[in-house]
Every structure is written in C-alpha cells, then in structure tokens.
A and B are shown apart, each in its own frame.
Chain A
Amino acid sequence: GAGVSQTPSNKVTEKGKYVELRCDPISGHTALYWYRQSLGQGPEFLIYFQGTGAADDSGLPNDRFFAVRPEGSVSTLKIQRTERGDSAVYLCASSRYGGGEQFFGPGTRLTVL
C-alpha cells in the first residue's frame, strides 16, 4: 500500500514569505506527527495530532508555526514570516494509533534565502 507522502519535495522561499507543507498519511492512521531535521542532527519533534486535534504541540518553536488536520487525514504545516533558521527537512509520520510504530514520509526540504 501507499506510504506517507509529502509535498512539495523541495521548497525554496525568501525570508519573510509564508509557506505551507502538506502531509498525506497512511490511510486509516489516526495519529500524525511533524518533525524537522537540521543537517547533521536527528529529527526534532514539532507536533502530534490524534484525529483532528493537536494532542501535543510542545515542539513548535514559536507562534510563526502552525499545523492543521481538519478532517483527521491530510495535515498542513504552515510557517509565517519565514526566517533563514527555518531551513531544514520537515518530516511527517503517521501511526495506526498514538504510541504505535511511526511510518515516515520522505520529507520536504525547505530552504529560506
């Protein structure tokens, strides 16, 4: 079956712009996670959804970052007023239930010029 997909695969934007990153989880997975990974580092947790609600958003670095999952499936990570320090690979993962094995997508590489 299809795995987790993320679009776009690459995104280049200018400082101060708004970006949206999309994640399509595995069908039927109720839990969805966003992570970001800087070069040479392990992924860093951002936010966890159980169904439509954000169950844990403790990893969002500031209020420029926001994520939604309105129908409990596709999720969008939104970043306002992008900064160069936001450049990273943004990874999405889903699991059948919260706490289950996480299946990761290939990531979106965001570059802020």
Chain B
Amino acid sequence: DAKTTQPNSMESNEEEPVHLPCNHSTISGTDYIHWYRQLPSQGPEYVIHGLTSNVNNRMASLAIAEDRKSSTLILHRATLRDAAVYYCILRGLTGGGNKLTFGTGTQLKVEL
C-alpha cells in the first residue's frame, strides 16, 4: 500500500479554519484519498474522500494537488468538537482496497 505522511499534531483556535496536510508521493492512479477522524474514546468516523477533483461535504473540504502527491483537509470553522486524530488514507480499487490502512494521523487540538 502506498504510504501517507502527516504532521503528528496541529493546533487551532475555535472558529478559525484549519488546513490539515497529507503527503502521498507514491500514490497510484487508482488510489482514492480518504480521510477519517477519531474523537477521544470513539471509533473512527468517515470525513470525506476524493480521487482527483476537490470535494466538499457538510463536514469538510478536500483539496487535492494537481499531481495528486499531496492533499489538504480543510475544516472551515473549527469547533471544540473537532478535536480529534485525523487520518489520511489511500484506498485502491483492487486487492487490499477493502481495508483501511491507518497511519498515526494528526492530533488536532482546538482551543477557545
């Protein structure tokens, strides 16, 4: 599986935008970029995913670089509830594409 690289931790103030980066220089053409997050003492939850084009949903936006070697998860207005570990995951269409391969993620801290 292609690997992703994320900063160990980031901090933000409440109601400010947050940009969480992810590098995936060995991504293959059929790998989708998925983001999950894990709140304290809970299982992970799906946030967003994309292939080539930028994506928006009610939780966040995903900006994908033109060469697809990096992506950024954007939380438009962070709240205290967004404090979690955010995982950037590459997921292929074949072979082991059904499982999620988690790294250590980025611990996001949100302060008042």
Contact = CB atoms under 8 A, between A and B. Distances in A.
Interface of B: 36, 41-46, 49, 85, 87, 91, 93, 96-105
12 contacts: A33-B99, A42-B102, A43-B44, A55-B98, A59-B99, A91-B43, A91-B44, A101-B49, A102-B44, A102-B100, A104-B43, A106-B42
B42 A45 contact: no
A66 B85 CA distance: 29
Given A43-B44, A107-B43, A99 B93 contact: yes
Chain B interface main SS type: loop
Contacts of A80: none
Q: Which of A31, A43, A55 counts the most chain B CB atoms within 10 A? A: A43
A56 B46 contact: no
Contacts of B46: 101-103
A101 B34 CA distance: 9
Contacts of B96: 56, 58
Nearest to B44: A104
Given A103-B45, A106-B43, 9 more contacts: A41-B104, A42-B85, A42-B102, A42-B103, A48-B98, A48-B99, A91-B43, A104-B43, A107-B43
